[in-house]
Amino acid sequence: MDCFIVKDLLPNFIDGLTSEETNGAINSHIAECAGCRAALEKMSAEFAYETEKAAREEKEIDFLKQFKSRIRIKKIVTVIAACFCVIAVISGALLYEFKYAFPMPYNSQCMKIKPTCVAELKTVDENGNVIGAGIRYFANGTEPDGLQDGETVTNILEIVQNFINTSYSNAYGREVTRNGEKIWVAYVCCYQTPYMKNIDKQYAGQINGEPGLSTPSGSYYSNLLDGGDKITDRQTIEIYYLTSLPRSDKKLQNLSDEEFAALGSNGILMWSGTK
């Protein structure tokens, strides 16, 4: 085999693309020809260098791809985390503004205790189950004339709010013995969210009769004598406004008479009288 043929075949020979017969002929020629042998060594070294270079470049490309992929993932994670943070902040702000209620300070101009007489007519079925009820309110505890058949009358005490908006109220009362006398003591506290507080700023001038937006209607809360069905006539009743009133009735139920009555020293007497 001539040298120029061998040199033409060397690239394919190095890449392993030549047949077994051709490989045998090339190996026999290289064994006897120093020039072709030198050309093979040179070409093999160049091939090894290019192969190593290509492998190194491929690793670098893979590294860059992985690096870019990691950066992309980090960006996505950062964006998602930022979205969650924004949602959390907005949700927290909304909950604080509309749901979290703070105890309101007592305002004698806006918070009143109102004696009220209630005439209630219950409709019952043949089994004695209540299927409907009608209620009529009469202010100042005035008992109504001309009661309907089956109508019952109850004297209650309610808290009335004017010129303010409360989110809800908490009230609890019970009979206690103080200095040998049984009296009915009730505590009440109104709560207001920041949103309601901001609304009330619009009505602030109306308390002094100044013009402004329409007056908020009075809101009536649960009977402050609830549970006091056994209150005797002329029994003393005291109602206090207490901003530190526990929101759990269970805590109040577990207090002794002395402890329960002592809560009034931290509150403001709103109303006292007899049933």
Report pLDDT for 144. Answer: 63
Rounded to an integer, what distance in angstroms lies between the CA atom of residue 122 and that of residue 119? 10
The pLDDT of residue 228 is: 53
* DSSP tag of 150: T
Return the structure tokens found at 33.
């020809």
Structure tokens, 89: 């902040």
Residue 212 is predicted with a pLDDT of 35
pLDDT score recorded for residue 267: 92
pLDDT of residue 231: 62
* 57, 67, 160, 209, 221 from 109: Cα distances, Å: 84, 69, 11, 12, 17
Write down the pTM of the prediction: 0.59
Q: What pLDDT score was predicted for residue 111?
A: 83
* Helix orientation angle between 20-32 and 34-98, rounded to the nearest 10 degrees: 120
* pLDDT score recorded for residue 87: 95
pLDDT of the chain, 275 residues: tens digit per residue: 678 787 777 777 777 878 888 878 877 877 888 887 888 788 877 777 777 777 777 787 777 778 788 888 889 989 999 999 999 999 999 998 888 889 999 988 888 887 777 777 777 777 877 676 676 666 655 566 666 676 777 767 777 777 777 888 888 888 888 888 888 898 988 888 888 888 777 655 554 444 333 333 344 444 566 655 556 666 788 999 998 888 778 888 889 988 999 999 999 999 888 86
Domain boundaries, the chain: 3-98, 102-112+160-274
Q: 135 and 228 in contact (C-beta within 8 Å)?
A: no
What is residue 241's predicted lDDT score, i.e. its pLDDT? 93
Q: Are strands 236-241 and 181-192 parallel, antiparallel or unpaired?
A: parallel
State the burial class of residue 199 (Cβ atoms within 10 Å of its Cβ: 0-12, 13-18, 19+). Answer: middle
pLDDT at 203: 59
CA-wise closest residue to 248 among 170, 147, 181, 157 = 170
- Residue 103: per-residue pLDDT: 92
